[in-house]
Homo-oligomer: A and B are copies of this chain.
Amino acid sequence: MARKTANRRVGITDVAQRAGVSLASVSRVMNGNFSVDPDIAARVRTAAAELNYQPNAVGRSLALGKTDTIGVVVPDLANPTFQGMLRGVSRAAAQDGYRVLIADSSEVSSEESILAGEARRRCDGVVLCAPRMNDAELEALAPSLRPLVLVNRSTADIQTPSLVVDYGQGIQDLAMHLVKLGHTHLAFLSGPERSAGNQARLQGLEKFRTDHPAVTLTVLSGGSSFEAGHGSAEAVLETGATGVLAFNDLVAMGLLSGLHERGVDVPGDISVTGFDDIPFANYTTPPLTTAAVPINDIGEQAWQEMRRLLGDAASEPSHTTFQPEVRPRGSTGPATR
């Protein structure tokens, strides 16, 4: 500890000394506290200003037992959905004086629990966004992460609030949209295996199958990226489907691009739908029909839930489900064959 009085950061002690008062008084003044002599307050304030005193957040956190920071764990920072979610949380939290620590698991599900644990140790709470880990692991981890808010994933533990999107219903709505346009052969370009959202879509489509036995539905494996969609163009064409439900907007845009390269007309030859309604979905050519998910709101609500958890732990955790809304745009049209 080479602290030769020189480069040391100025602390509350220095201020107290300079103002000729005790640490306690400085702390009281700095926290805008009640009942402290105006004269002392003034002395402290000028001393603080002269020394350019900056309170040390770590010391403060230790004494207070809180960091005013929450962690947000996302599977992939490059994904517009998670970006939007992060932004929503960040802005809402900032309103209440909280900051956000980010943890990007880069779609490596085994990293998630470690990242989440680390985040929790540094923060007052954690928002787990669409974790890829399996149910058992999530179940086991949840208690140690509390206060915990789950997004796009729920757990048997009723205590942790969750905000989920009804992907199952949304994909059915999109399918219905295509059927109404006269399509009888659909294809679903599915997403990451481990994604709970993908499972929900598959289940929704299973229900759709039984509800509409006359409609043929082919399921293709895919991914969640633009490239996955782009690379699936050929496979999609081979199915002979006239309506394609892409896992999300990114995949749909990739597919659009791949089809365009092959001279396939959308929606003339094939109709394509996305999911999420990311900002760019409106501006593809043709504009993408998709199911809108209010991702910024979800982020904001995630913070509201967290705030409740941080405040009175006794209040009721809520489990909100968001219904996606079909946005018919140019990428879908009447079936022609």
Contact = CB atoms under 8 A, between A and B. Distances in A.
Contact of A57 (B121, B253, B257): B121
Nearest to A90: B104
Interface string A95-135: 00001111110100000000001110110000000000000
A15 interface: no
Contact of A106 (B57, B84, B91, B283): B91
Nearest to A91: B104
Report the contact-size class of chain A (Cβ under 8 Å from the partner). Answer: 35 or more
Contact of A99 (B55, B77, B122): B122
A interface: dominant SS:
helix
A279 interface: yes
A283 B117 CA distance: 38
A94 interface: yes
A257 B118 CA distance: 44
A230 to B, nearest CB: 9
B122 A104 contact: no
A115 to B, nearest CB: 8
A101 B99 contact: yes
Contacts of A22: none
Most B CB contacts (10 A, CB to CB) among A57, A100, A121, A253 go to A57
